Amino acid sequence: MCRALLYLGPPVLLDHLLFQPDSALVRQSFNPRMLHLLNLAGFGMLAWDRDSHEPARPFEYRSTSLPVFDRNLKALAQKVRASALLAHVRGVPYSTEATISLQNTHPFTFAGCPLALAHNGDLYAIADYRDALAHEIAPAIRARIAGTTDSEWIAALVVSRLPDPDGYSMHDLSQAVLDALAIIARARRAAGISISSATNLFVADGERAIGVRHCFDYGRYRTDDPARVNEANLRYLSLWYTLGRDFGLHDDEWQMVGAEAAADAVLIASEPLTSDHGSWIEVPEYGFLGVERGAQGLRIAAHDIRL
C-alpha cells in the first residue's frame, strides 16, 4: 500500500512536508507508522505556486528511485515553496509481477484538465471489469491512459464525470469523485467481485482538495491462498487531516498552529506527519473531506460516503 499527502494553504517549503517532520512523507516510504509494508516503487508530486509563472501549472517531479536517496528531490524541496501539494510514495506487492515505471507513479493527470489524483489501496481483479469501466470513460481520456495501475483508471473515471474538465465547481468535483466510486461499485457487483479493495483517494487542482477514506467490501478476502491476503484486507487504511494557519517547526515541535475556525491551511495525509497526533483528526471510515480555497479562508465540508 502507498502513502500520500495533500496540502492546501499559504506557501510552505516542500522540505517541511517531505523531509523534515518526525514522520514526513519521505520517512514514511521506509518507516511508516501506520502500515507494515514499505513503499519502494517510486515517488511523484505536483506542487502549485500561486506566485510562479503560469500558477495554474504545477511543478512536476517523478522518480522510480527511493526518495530518501534522491538528492535532486532534496535540493528542490529546500528551495521550492508551494501553496498546494499532492505527493505520493508508491507501494506494491513484493513480487516480480509488479511493474515499476514512471508511467505508474502518482499523481495522475490528463491533458486539458487541471485535476490530479493519487490513490492508496488496490482494486481487486480490476481486469475482470475493466471493459465495463472503459465504457464510462471519455474516449479522449481513455486514449491517454499510459500506465498499468488501477489508480490511473480511477483518475480517468473522475475526470470523465466532470461536466467541463477545464472549468468546474467544487460541487462538480465532489460529485465526480462520488460518481466514479459508484461506477466501480456497480461494475464489481456485475462481475461478481466482493473482495476487499481499499480506495483512499487524494484529489487536488491547486485550489481545491478532496480526501476520501473508502473501501469496497471491507473485510472480505481470499481464503484459498492466505499468501494473497494483504494488509488492506485486514485493516481499514488510515487517513488523517489537520487544520490551522501555519504548519512548521514551533517550539521545537513540528505542528500546525492556529485555530481551526479561522484555518487557511489544511494537511490531509495517510498518517500524521508529526509524532504528536493531538492536532490531527482521523477521517472516519467511509468518510469524505472536501476543501476549497476562498476569500475568507478555507471552505470545508465533510460527510459520509453512501453509494
Q: Which 3 state secondary structure label does DSSP give 188?
A: helix
Q: How confident is the model at residue 296 (pLDDT cuts 50, 70, 90)?
A: confident
Burial 174-206 (b: 16+ CB within 10 A, else e): bebbbbbbebbbebbeebebebbbbbbbbbbbb
Mean pLDDT of 2-18: 97
Q: How confident is the model at residue 232 (pLDDT cuts 50, 70, 90)?
A: low
Greatest CA separation for the chain: 55
Instruction: Give the residue with greater pLDDT, 17 vs 234.
Output: 17
DSSP 8-class letter at 23? T
Question: Quick one: pLDDT at residue 4?
Answer: 98
Sign of the torsion angle spanned by Cα atoms 218, 219, 225, 230: positive
Q: Which residue has the cell 484538465?
A: 113
Per-residue model confidence as pLDDT tens digits over 260-272: 888 999 999 999 9
Q: What is the Cα–Cα distance from 288 to 272, expressed in whole angstroms?
A: 17
Per-residue model confidence as pLDDT tens digits over 173-190: 999 999 999 999 999 999
**C-alpha dihedral over 98, 101, 105, 111, to 10 degrees?**
-130
Q: Where are the domains of the chain?
A: 3-304
Residue 172 confidence (pLDDT) above 80: yes
Q: Which 3 state secondary structure label does DSSP give 36?
A: coil
Mean pLDDT of 107-125: 96
Asked if 118 and 243 count as a contact pair (C-beta separation under 8 A), the reply is no
Residue 242 confidence (pLDDT) above 70: yes
Q: At what angle do helices 150-160 and 170-190 cross, to 10 degrees?
A: 130
Per-residue model confidence as pLDDT tens digits over 42-86: 999 999 998 889 999 999 999 999 999 999 999 999 999 999 999
Residue 140 confidence (pLDDT) above 90: yes
Question: Quick one: pLDDT at residue 227?
Answer: 67
Question: Quick one: pLDDT at residue 93?
Answer: 73
Detail the DSSP E strand segments found in 205-270.
208-213, 215-216, 240-244, 246-250, 253-257, 265-269
Which secondary structure element, helix H or strand E, spans residue 6, and what is its range? strand 3-13
Partnered with residue 208 across adjacent β-strands are: 292
Read off the pTM.
0.96
Per-residue model confidence as pLDDT tens digits over 24-44: 999 999 999 888 878 888 999
Percent of the chain with pLDDT over 90: 82
Q: How confident is the model at residue 99 (pLDDT cuts 50, 70, 90)?
A: confident
Q: What is the Cα–Cα distance from 49 to 221, expressed in whole angstroms?
A: 43
CATH architecture type of domain 3-304: 4-Layer Sandwich (3.60)
